[in-house]
Chains A and B, each alone.
Chain A
């Protein structure tokens, strides 16, 4: 059982907007630690998508955005494309565990 909670799956049609939530607690996101997001395409290593809750690395389209509020973070994807079909993971830091933690992952299906 992951420390951060994500929905197992989300789906949307091409062009639509989807959001993926990441719920933590007072020992991680609620303790003012940022939320980061990774995209994992089938058979590939994870790739950094959003860092510091709402920043995009160079090369990541602005269709991807992140936010954080209280003990939760959220990833939004607008203008959904077939190539966005992947697993998405959130990550933060936990003071009780004294280490990075991940959400269980969300599988995005583009209908």
Chain B
């Protein structure tokens, strides 16, 4: 069945970067967009951006432009999200999710990766 499995929890210092991975299985990896969505403690869902594994193309929310990089490795069906210059506001659960089109729903989600930011 379709599965998105994310990397483990991270603890980072302010100013550092974090790289979260999302390994896909159970479907054609290059056919779907992979999105990144984050959720701060006790808060709602916030879309960060997407990457298309086939082309490597990306698009990110204005808020994260210049600070987020999304890449993929088709040989291992994995996408990566790199967030730079972390602050305490970036402490959150980070989810990957896939959709058939950029304006579509998110069919399936990863289990989440908790990123803590503290000095």
Which A residues have a C-beta under 8 Å from some C-beta of B?
2, 33-34, 36, 38, 45-48, 51-52, 57, 89, 91, 93, 97-105
Contacts and interface: CB of A to CB of B under 8 A. Distances in A.
A70 B60 CA distance: 28
A105 B59 contact: no
A9 B50 CA distance: 30
A38 B105 CA distance: 9
Given A93-B102, A98-B59, 5 more contacts: A33-B103, A91-B45, A93-B103, A102-B37, A102-B47
B102 A99 contact: yes
B22 to A, nearest CB: 12
Given A45-B109, A46-B109, A100 B103 contact: yes
Contacts of B103: 33, 93, 100
B46 interface: yes
A40 to B, nearest CB: 8
A102 B44 contact: yes
Interface of B: 35, 37, 44-47, 49-50, 59, 61-62, 95, 97, 102-112
B110 A45 contact: yes
The 6 closest A-B pairs by CB, nearest first: A36-B105, A93-B103, A51-B105, A45-B109, A102-B45, A105-B44
Contacts of B61: 97, 99
Chain A interface secondary structure, helix, strand, loop or mixed? strand
B106 A91 contact: yes
Contact of A45 (B50, B59, B107, B112): B112
B45 A46 contact: yes
B109 A99 contact: no
A45 B111 contact: yes
B47 A105 contact: no
Given A101-B47, A102-B47, A48 B105 contact: yes
10 contacts: A38-B106, A45-B110, A45-B111, A46-B106, A57-B107, A98-B59, A99-B47, A100-B106, A101-B47, A104-B44
